[in-house]
Structure 1
Amino acid sequence: MALPPVLVSLGTAIASASPIGLAQTPPTTTDPTTAAGVALIAAFVLIVYGSSVAFSVLLGAAVLGTSKLFGSGTYVPTVERLMRDGPVRSAAIGLAALVGGAIGTFLLVIVLLFAVELGAPEPLPMAIVIPFVAGTAFVYAAVTVGTIALGSVLLRRFGEGEPNDWLALAVGSLVVNVPGVNLLVAPPLTCVAAGAMIDERWRAWRDRGGRRDSLARSESEPSTDG
């Protein structure tokens, strides 16, 4: 006597759900090689991130320390204010300076190599080290100032009052070195910071020149005291 199809289907389902049926199902296991590879990649990313943050903090400490030691400590806040008040102007100045510096360095190399071909001393091309080192230091300083400015913006958004430069350095370093974020944030931030640094120097030079002219005019005017 044949069983109804409904009973046959029900018996099959019960058998597959029984301990014997479950025991026949092969267990799913995670490949230990894959897990080890993922852990190794995660550890490498964390090491690189931590090293980048530490380097940014050390570089920023040097910039802030130099600003407070040889100046009034207002250089970084002044540059940050210029970045906030005129980001487009600062970005344009910074991009022009960075591109112009790279082109000028390349042309200088060509000129020095050509001079050696004409009989100049062979060590002459080593002079390119001076502008290269100066340009690299300027870029690193721009990156550092931009990092501090980013940290200050975040602290102002989520806090009250004027942020501390050292705390802004720490916050900015943690954010700007996040993998992926650094590729999106660092280039424009560097351009804006570089332009603001150049703008700050130009304004300081212009103000000093104006004060000298004013002092010279006041000294040249005849005294009205009787």
Structure 2
Amino acid sequence: MNPIFVPLEGSSEQYRAEPMCQSKVCGDWVHTVDCGDRVGAWLSEFLGKPCRLIRQSPDFNRGRRRGHNTGGSGVSLSLVNEAQYLMINKASIDLLQEHIIHRNRSGSHQQFDIQQLINRFRANLVIWGKEPFEEDEWTSLKIGNTLFKVAGQCGRCQMIGIDQSTAARNQEPLQSLATCRNGKVTFGMYLIHNSQETSSSVLTVGSPVIPETSAARQKMNDTP
């Protein structure tokens, strides 16, 4: 099919001219605008079923999810599930791959290479940590000159069992994740950008990652 282009930015007047609608994201009602018949027809033809492309209304402010230790106030979310960003650790991916390979020795489980596993978890940020799941203990981190607060662990569901390129479903890597995590099915950390920092924030590949753990913070507080 010929490519189609949708502008990322637009004026409020332009959005007001588009049909308004309400949608749900993880139980939250959100106000959205329809991106028009042209892109809707393009997607419907490609996917073989009627569908529309919507985006969040620029006049709508969606607050942070309850139950996560995001800290601060005024955190605004778009149409994401739980938080502004999702981060995973390649060291944790490597360990999960080992568990999948071990389970696959019987020949009944699918193999994954590292890049396939990374794609399954659909993260915004992939870091190269030293230890698997060390990120579970982080309370905040600095990537380059940009500060983030950890807002909790990402609970996983059957979505990671869907091949992102073919839409085929299987039980991996969810089953191996539960084994690897002693019954837990969390993988990755939610992050909230520290909007109070005054310097410009630019993320680049290869930036150093400096985490802070709850133990380190307690040690600092205990220092006379």
TM above 0.5, one fold?
no
TM-score under structure 2 length normalisation? 0.25
Return the index of the structure with the highest Cα Rg: 1
Indicate the structure with greater helix content.
1
TM-score under structure 1 length normalisation? 0.24
